[in-house]
Amino acid sequence: MCGISGAFSASPLSSGRDGGWIDVMRQSLSHRGPDGWGRELFENAALNHNRLAIIDPAGGQQPLRGASGTNWIVFNGEIYNYRELRQGLAGYPFRTHSDTEVILALFEREGVSGWRHLRGMFAFALWDESSRTGYLVRDPVGIKPLFYAQHGDKLLFGSEAKALLAGGIVPRLHEPSLHGVMNFRYLPGDGSLFSGIVQLPPGRVLTWRQDAVSLAELPRQRPSQLEPLPDLLAEAAARHMVADVPVGSYLSGGVDSALIAALASREGPLATYTLEVGDDPREADHALETARLLGLPNQRASLCIEDGIELHRAMVRHLEVPKVNALQGMQLAEFVARQGKVALSGLGGDELFYGYNAHRIFWLAHLAGRLPSGLRHGLARPLLGRLAPDAWTEPRRGLMMLEALPDWPRVYGLLRNVWDCPELRRQIYGERMMDAALPDAFTLVAERWPREPDPVKAMAEFELRNKMVNDLLWNEDRMGMRAGLEIRVPLLDEGLVDYFLNASRAGLMPLGRAKHALRRCARQTLPGRILRRPKSGFQLDIVALAQGALRPFFDTYLSPERIARHRLFNGAFVGQIMAGPARRGQRWQWFLLYLMAQAHLLMEEFDAY
């Protein structure tokens, strides 16, 4: 795991004129690679690398040159099957023992199509000096990030948007993207919060040649038949233990992290780590009991908020987007990084195996959709008519979902708190947002909705391609790399993702039973005491924190002076919520305020106006 940055340029680069900003790009990502750095400058390209050494610590320095002498690469991620691939590349004159060189060897043997063999998490840039062609590549799931932007006759790229800002992109807030964040609580689509900077979509290859850019799908080698789920789980855990440094594992009290820890510990020693959040120690106690049942050591960290303002400055600076669910991951990553460089995460189990309450609610909505439309509307419309049009409560959302059936993208948006409508825009937004050309948030869902007849599976696929990439994986990467920690996600192994995409929803979630298939497999590995526990995780109570440890942060970044200066949000709406007591029924409103405060902080940290 590392940081990469650089540029492809139609006009010649020179070390005297251009070396300065190229180094500034690299330095902006120094947190991603505390173990070393490298740079190569060509007439039409620059490649930067910041290294966190996991595989071949002694010989894996980058940028790395291929045997041809004309191909160079900078790589962020891990190729878990690199040893098998290396065996199939007999005769190639390898000079290192790194997975990076295998990517180069595949390209020099087969061209871009050679990358179909890669299994892992990756984002890399390759420069072919002989043809003056550059490539940017991102893994199919989107585990590793990669941003790019056109800057004059240059294409800048980097693992984080801040590298492109360091390369000369003027930081300007992109209001449509912020509107997406305010609705989804993550950044929908392939953009960023900075105008002109976009993400390379997962599973894509960008080819640059003489200032011409094209995008194509990354070639993939799909299995002729799917292996049994227990075999796929065991193989995924084993692959993700490949490292030349010790590997640890996050451990909550739930099934997903317990299963990964149990399977991975078959491959070698494994320490586990848990975060205690809030005043209720039961989650951490469950994790400790799980570790004891599995015979694994466990260390516990506690969420600590001594200075909420400084904490959020660091968090937002690294996230580059407001988030409601990143603080706990930030502190756990800091703790684990003091013990080692690699941690496994149970992320992916709920998404691939229908483990969220939202999946069950959507399944119930699917059943309700079979009722006659007249009956549904007859139930919903009279009750909706009694509610204020700008009210946003659980009962109102439920009735709106019932009335929206069978418009599944809209039903999904309502379920996930997408609130976009003219009445609420006027209530929430200030002058700048109201003057901007903002997309309809429900249309953003509809444009990306999968062509899948089963609406529950369509929902799960949508979240895998969107929420997973731009919310959950985004957090894992940024908070891990801030601390110099590589976080791996075995449950998002390519084989398991293919299994999910090819399996029927009824087979994985029969009669609405959450995570049925995964729990059935886990019976072979985990004690029943673990399997019987209710779903858990490292959850924050933002409403309580807003009245306690985080109140100075809210007061500072939602002050009347800041609201007036930035003109993004409606001061009357903010003031009304801030002046009253924090009630559980106002969870949605406090989440909005939390995002607003971070938006103001982000503008000031990046000077993005």
Mean pLDDT of 68-82: 97
pLDDT digits (tens, 9 = 90+) for 104-113: 999 999 999 9
Among 213, 194, 27, 206, residue whose Cα is nearest residue 124: 206
Query: Do 466 and 522 reside in the same domain of the chain?
Result: yes
> Domain of 95: which CATH number?
3.60.20.10
**Assigned domain for 99 exists:** yes
The token duo for 75 is 């790589």
Single residue among 537, 552, 573 that ends a domain in this structure = 537
**Assigned domain for 380 exists:** no
Whether the CB-CB separation of 125 and 205 falls below 8 Å is answered with no
**pLDDT reported for residue 382:** 65
**Assigned domain for 601 exists:** yes
Q: b/e map of 349-366 (b: 16 or more CB within 10 Å)?
A: bbbbbbbbebbbbbbebb
Query: Do 121 and 163 reside in the same domain of the chain?
Result: yes
**Assigned domain for 397 exists:** no
Query: Do 471 and 575 reside in the same domain of the chain?
Result: no
Q: Report the 10 Å Cβ neighbour count for 510.
A: 11
Whether the CB-CB separation of 22 and 48 falls below 8 Å is answered with yes
CA pair distance 282, 507, nearest whole angstrom:
32
**Assigned domain for 183 exists:** no
Query: Do 6 and 128 reside in the same domain of the chain?
Result: yes
pLDDT digits (tens, 9 = 90+) for 523-569: 999 999 999 887 766 678 898 899 899 999 999 999 999 999 999 99
pLDDT digits (tens, 9 = 90+) for 233-258: 999 999 999 999 999 999 998 999 99
Query: Do 59 and 107 reside in the same domain of the chain?
Result: yes
Residue with token string 């601390």 = 483
Query: Do 533 and 562 reside in the same domain of the chain?
Result: no
pLDDT greater than 90 at residue 506: yes
Mean pLDDT of 345-374: 90
pTM of the predicted protein model: 0.95
Those residues with Cβ within 8 angstroms of residue 299's Cβ, 6 or more apart along the chain or in another chain: 271, 272, 273, 274, 335, 339
Query: Do 265 and 199 reside in the same domain of the chain?
Result: no
Query: Do 583 and 450 reside in the same domain of the chain?
Result: no
pLDDT greater than 60 at residue 389: no
**pLDDT reported for residue 369:** 78
pLDDT greater than 60 at residue 306: yes
Mean pLDDT of 493-510: 96
Strands 298-302 and 271-276: parallel
Task: With cut-offs at 50, 70 and 90, classify the pLDDT of residue 381.
Answer: low
Domain limits at 531? 233-369+406-537
CA pair distance 271, 246, nearest whole angstrom:
9
Whether the CB-CB separation of 172 and 609 falls below 8 Å is answered with yes
Single residue among 513, 537, 561 that ends a domain in this structure = 537
**Assigned domain for 496 exists:** yes
**Assigned domain for 606 exists:** yes
Number of structural domains, the chain? 3
Mean pLDDT of 321-335: 96
Single residue among 537, 568, 592 that ends a domain in this structure = 537
pLDDT digits (tens, 9 = 90+) for 402-438: 889 899 999 999 999 999 999 999 999 999 999 999 9
**Assigned domain for 22 exists:** yes
Query: Do 59 and 93 reside in the same domain of the chain?
Result: yes
CA pair distance 162, 319, nearest whole angstrom:
10
**pLDDT reported for residue 225:** 79
Task: With cut-offs at 50, 70 and 90, classify the pLDDT of residue 388.
Answer: low
Query: Do 518 and 545 reside in the same domain of the chain?
Result: no
Residue with token string 């595989």 = 55
- The pLDDT > 90 percentage for the chain reads 83
The token duo for 47 is 């490649």
CA pair distance 159, 478, nearest whole angstrom:
10
Whether the CB-CB separation of 159 and 4 falls below 8 Å is answered with yes
The token duo for 574 is 């903010």
Query: Do 558 and 524 reside in the same domain of the chain?
Result: no
CA pair distance 362, 372, nearest whole angstrom:
18
Which of 419 and 369 is assigned the larger pLDDT? 419
**pLDDT reported for residue 253:** 84
Query: Do 323 and 425 reside in the same domain of the chain?
Result: yes
Angle at 352 between CA 350 and CA 358, to 5 degrees: 50
> Domain of 482: which CATH number?
3.40.50.620
